[in-house]
Structure 1
Amino acid sequence: MTSTQKDQHGARSQCSQEADNPHRKAEKTYSCDECGKNFTRNYSLKTHQLIHSGVKPYSCGECGKSFNQAGGLKTHRLIHSGVKPYSCELCGKSFTRAGDLKKHRLIHSGVKPYRCELCGKSFTRAGDLKKHQLFHSGVKPYRCDECGKDFTQIRHLKTHQLIHSEVKPYSCDSCGKSFTHAGHLKTHQLIHSGFKPYSCDLCLKKHQLIHSGVKPYSCDECGKSFTQAGHLKTHQFIHSEVKPYNCDLCGKSFTQAGGLKTHQLIHSGVKPYSCDLCGKSFTRAGGLKKHQLIHSGIKEYICGSCGKAFAQNEHLQKHLVTHSGINVHSCDFCGKTFNDIQYRNIHLLIHTGNDVYCCDQCGQPFTTDAQLKQHVYPH
């Protein structure tokens, strides 16, 4: 046997031994110069190096997302197909890839071997720990081109960018409110269900402070007290006169993003909160709650001057003007002023010739007595 034949025979023998021993671990002799990751085959190394090159020749026709490997594009397309063949037998959640199901199952195992040394929080996967540690580092490498806000993770940036796109593809069947994310819609729908599945001891303790009456945080400007430091901080914006949140439709400014968001419901015309007794709708739950006092018959706001009682404080405040001597309601026709809107509306009869029926509680005018009665006694 020649030396060449011996080499070939030796190579075949080695292959035969590896085939006979399938559990034998192959050596990873090919190493990536960029990140140090090792591979058993040169082809696998070359495929991996595309990640560092930034070249992504495979693009999705549906959304335009690009990939450096054909397999990545193929897997991605499953998202658009809606096919999720891999289901968790414990909770029924479905996935497009077997690997995603495998990762998901760790949640049910309860095993969290990866622990953050800084805060002690534990994670089921090393990748989740690595992402979490970015919060402690303070590094926020992902910046929004629209507003300059920085993020620790690219998925948080992508989620944020939907705000600027104004695209809200997820709509609530109950009230028509739209959301940029499916998760936000799911959370919102709990409002209509009345279901409150999450109980937090810390939140419970914070909530109980409301009932205790203890308000240790006081505003230096006006003396108003709060149960939580965060509420005081939010309140102090009022005194700063800084209103960074502007309405694009009318230009009105707000100190908080929540105030702007609530205000924008006025322009949308959406009124998801309806009164069961009279059908009147409101943009906010608080507006409905105030309105329902009219039907309850409770009138806890009493005028100190004449003893007249009102269901809402704002109605009392309007009434108090009648005792002040200040004329704030003027006639659009002749300019005459009145200290009560009811008197102004009655005065309008001189100019219009129409009958006006006013509500004693809120001053709202009606053209017929029947409309006034329906307003006062809706049921």
Structure 2
Amino acid sequence: MEVVKEEPDVKLECEVSEEMFVTDGIIQDTGTLSADVEEFGCLKCNKLFNCKKQLAQHKVVHLGVKKFSCDECDKQFIRNSDLTKHLLIHSGVRNFKCDECGKQFIRNVDLNKHLLIHSGVKKFKCDECGKLFVEKGNLTRHVLIHFGVKKFKCDECGKQFSRNYDLTKHLLIHSGVKKFKCDECGKLFGTKYYLMQHLLIHSGERKFKCSECDKQFKCKSHLNQHQLTHSGVKKFKCDECNKQFSQKCRLNQHLLLHSGVKKFKCDKCDKQFADKSNLNQHLLIHSGVKKFKCDECDKLFSQKSHLTRHMDIHLGKKKFMCDMCGKLFNEKGNFTQHLIIHSGVKKFKCDECGKLFSEKGNLARHLLTHSGVKKFKCDECDKHFSQKSNLNQHLRRYHIGNSFAEEVTVAIQNVQVG
């Protein structure tokens, strides 16, 4: 093993306690002393020291006794030196500044660790997933994820975490405190990490690409969630209707439908939605912007999902069949609406004449007859109609049929003359 000469007063870290110790002498790359220096070993973690005093200080870590308490936050420590370092946090003094990004630190050792991030060197690799880390401590905490050990539990919602750090971040959600604000849209976040991820949305950059469908995402976490849809695994099941989902967030959104709660209201038409994302999609209709174009017929749509459903018409896909009358539909929404007709239920009533309708859309079209507005004009006779369906009926009954009869009569006359 390679032996490296170190300068005096080199700080070493105990692999068990992650505490830092000062040593003199020749240090091996494993962190233990070389054979030409007298060794004092810890029986708990096999850590080696070059003097009894350092070993004695280190042994206190394994005793677990924390007799030094912080008057500010009641946090307890094994050694007085650790308490002294901790008190610097409450002082708010950050004398050590990173020249790369301007971030400031309370201790020089924290600054040195931070500088490793800018170096780009990640020499600690996870054997399970191959992920690389700058610090060994980060790798150690990461490995807990693969073991499935989640010993840190949230008392508010019961959610469990493998790291205390993650639990601490999670608790900010319940606290309601959101001190990190986006300068672009004013949205507030409980942690700086969530703010940084949110800022990627405003940048417009989508650097995370799905290898399955080429869809791109602004955040890696969004890509990871999306890739679950390709796996085919749907382990989240709705207890109400047994529908299954690949992502828990999709299940949570779906459950709002069963709750009947629709707290997101459209300012344009008063339509209400259970989920904010559905409201945002709906607002595109009112914006008038239609950027999704059908290559077959040039029809434009405000949402990509509407274009996708429309394409089924050109492909001849009609996978929803009515058992009552055999009629086929290419969209589930239209099929569901059609079934209401057979149910006989008519819960939409016209306040003008009392007529009942099975669908709200039919009532809306009917109300046009009372409004007196007739915007659909017949090009043959200039007659006006309040509904396009009435115009179509008129054309079939009077103009299309008559023109066909006239053509037949002319053809017969021509034959007789000949």
TM-score interval for Structure 1 and Structure 2 normalised by the shorter chain: 0.5 to 0.7
| CA displacement at 1:141 relative to structure 2 | 5.4
Measured at CA, do residues 234 and 81 of structure 1 come closer, stay the same or move farther in structure 2, by a change above 3 Å? farther
- Contact (CA 8 Å) 2:262, 2:272: kept in 1 or not? no
Q: Which of 144, 151, 157 is equivalent to 1:142?
A: 151
The answer to whether structure 1 residue 237 and structure 2 residue 198 are counterparts is no
Measured at CA, do residues 101 and 339 of structure 1 come closer, stay the same or move farther in structure 2, by a change above 3 Å? same
* CA shift digits 1:132-163 (9 cap, x unpaired): 44444x25152426466554433234334555
User: Quick check: 230-239 or 45-54, which moved more?
Assistant: 230-239
State the distance in 2 between where 1:75 and 1:292 align: 55
**Counterparts of 1:45-124 in structure 2 under 5 Å?**
45-124=55-134
Instruction: Specify which structure has the bigger relative contact order, considering alpha-carbon pairs within 8 angstroms and separated by 6 or more residues.
Output: 1
| CA displacement at 1:236 relative to structure 2 | 7.2
Alignment-derived partner of residue 35 in structure 1: 45
State the distance in 2 between where 1:135 and 1:128 align: 12
Q: Which of 348, 360, 370 is equivalent to 1:329?
A: 348
Q: Name stretches of at least 5 consecutive residues in structure 1 with no aligned partner.
A: 1-17, 211-225, 245-252, 301-309, 348-355, 361-379
Measured at CA, do residues 190 and 130 of structure 1 come closer, stay the same or move farther in structure 2, by a change above 3 Å? closer
Name the aligned partner's letter for residue 128 of structure 1.
Answer: N
* CA shift digits 1:259-313 (9 cap, x unpaired): 579999x898899xx99xx9x9997354234223234286x9xxxxxxxxx9898
Alignment-derived partner of residue 248 in structure 1: none
* CA shift digits 1:65-110 (9 cap, x unpaired): 2222233233333334443322222233322221122122222333
The answer to whether structure 1 residue 208 and structure 2 residue 214 are counterparts is yes
State the distance in 1 between where 2:96 and 2:49 align: 28
State the distance in 1 between where 2:130 and 2:171 align: 31
User: Quick check: 144-153 or 106-115, which moved more?
Assistant: 144-153
State the distance in 2 between where 1:145 and 1:63 align: 20
Q: How many residues align?
A: 289
State the distance in 2 between where 1:90 and 1:263 align: 51
Alignment-derived partner of residue 179 in structure 2: 170
- Contact (CA 8 Å) 2:116, 2:134: kept in 1 or not? yes
Name the aligned partner's letter for residue 199 of structure 1.
Answer: K
| CA displacement at 1:116 relative to structure 2 | 3.9
State the distance in 1 between where 2:51 and 2:277 align: 63
Which protein shows a greater Rg?
A: 2
Alignment-derived partner of residue 282 in structure 2: 290
| CA displacement at 1:44 relative to structure 2 | 3.4
Match of 1:64, SS? coil
**Counterparts of 1:335-354 in structure 2 under 5 Å?**
337-339=356-358
Name the aligned partner's letter for residue 208 of structure 1.
Answer: D
* CA shift digits 1:321-375 (9 cap, x unpaired): 7x9485122599xx98544659989x9xxxxxxxx999x9xxxxxxxxxxxxxxx
- Contact (CA 8 Å) 1:123, 1:129: kept in 2 or not? yes
State the distance in 2 between where 1:258 and 1:58 align: 48
Q: Name stretches of at least 5 consecutive residues in structure 2 with no aligned partner.
A: 1-7, 9-22, 27-32, 217-225, 293-300, 307-330, 376-418
Measured at CA, do residues 70 and 284 of structure 1 come closer, stay the same or move farther in structure 2, by a change above 3 Å? same
Alignment-derived partner of residue 164 in structure 2: 154
Aligned CA-pair RMSD: 5.6
State the distance in 1 between where 2:114 and 2:212 align: 33
Alignment-derived partner of residue 350 in structure 1: none
Name the aligned partner's letter for residue 144 of structure 1.
Answer: K
Q: Identity, % of aligned pairs?
A: 29
| CA displacement at 1:126 relative to structure 2 | 3.1
TM-score by length of 1: 0.53
TM-score by length of 2: 0.49
